[in-house]
Amino acid sequence: KGDMIIVNSKVVHKIFSDSQVDYRCLIVDNSFIDQNSIDPSAYYFCEKICDYETGLLMEKITSAYENQQIEFSHLEIRKCVSEFLLHLYKHYSKPQSSVSDLHDQSNRKIRKALDYINLHFCEKISLDDIAVFSGFSKYYFTRIFRQMIGCTVFEHINMLRCKKAKTMLLSTNLPLSKICYDCGFESPSYFAKTFKTYIGVLPSKLRQEK
């Protein structure tokens, strides 16, 4: 609670939580920044921010947005967003450098890894397989994957397996054991435990509610 995540342009990302989360999302179009004579591609923002002043500025934007019936509300919103951006640029931005080239390269490799995982997550899949396919060393891959995607490789794989299992539970009458193995789980007990973690109910309970 209270954390702010900045998603830089063209960065692979996703939001995942094992509990109910409410969040506010502000998407600033590059043209808005261009109007203030700033080249958005020339700067890179720190990804995680948690400070009192930034939170207050975000609250001001929310308040202005929720009171659009007030006269000149659109000007008020633009003013609040401008103040917010000024604060971010002054305190949390870095000039783009050769680091950005490395970042773009890592993004391409992570996308390649995600494509591979999407094709093979129901199979027995290893970190070595994914790392080799995407062109990373295994240890660097696990670190950069968590940094960019927000979870470990196997948390991501388990989430995909559970989503597929949920679809099969609701759309077929296949036995739980077959769904378990077809989705890549090694045992029914691990399947049940993992499914409960990611979906919130046991597979058998979901099947009963079908």
Q: Summarize pLDDT for 193-208 with one digit per residue, the tens.
A: 999 998 889 999 988 8
pLDDT of 161 above 70: yes
- Between 156 and 144, whose confidence is greater? 156
Two structure tokens written together for 14: 């996703």
Residue 28, Cβ neighbours under 10 Å: how many? 13
Q: Which pLDDT tens digit goes with each residue over 172-195?
A: 999 999 999 999 999 999 999 999
Q: Phi then psi for 102, rounded to 5 degrees?
A: -65, -40
pLDDT of 79 above 50: yes
pLDDT of 61 above 60: yes
In whole angstroms, give the CA distance from residue 94 to residue 100.
11
**Please, which pLDDT band fits residue 210 given cuts at 50, 70 and 90?**
low
In whole angstroms, give the CA distance from residue 30 to residue 37.
11
| Nearest by Cα to 58 from 35, 85, 21 | 85
- Between 68 and 125, whose confidence is greater? 125
Averaged over 8-12, what is the pLDDT? 75
Write down the pLDDT at residue 147: 78
Write down the pLDDT at residue 100: 52
Write down the pLDDT at residue 101: 54
Q: Which pLDDT tens digit goes with each residue over 80-121?
A: 999 999 999 888 887 776 445 556 667 778 888 888 999 999
- Three-state SS letters, the chain: CCCEECCCCCCCCCCCCCCCCCCCCCCCCHHHHHCCCCCHHHEEECCEECCHHHHHHHHHHHHHHHCCCCCCHHHHHHHHHHHHHHHHHHHHEEECCHHHHHHHHHHHHHHHHHHHHHHHCCCCCCHHHHHHHHCCCHHHHHHHHHHHHCCCHHHHHHHHHHHHHHHHHHHCCCCHHHHHHHCCCCCHHHHHHHHHHHHCCCHHHHHHHC
In whole angstroms, give the CA distance from residue 158 to residue 164.
10
Q: Which pLDDT tens digit goes with each residue over 22-40?
A: 888 999 888 888 887 777 7
Maximum C-alpha span of the chain: 62
- Single pTM value for the model: 0.54
Averaged over 14-20, what is the pLDDT? 72
| % of the chain beyond a pLDDT of 90 | 35
What are the distances in angstroms from CA 4 to CA 92, 97, 123?
Answer: 12, 24, 36
Write down the pLDDT at residue 203: 93
pLDDT of 158 above 50: yes
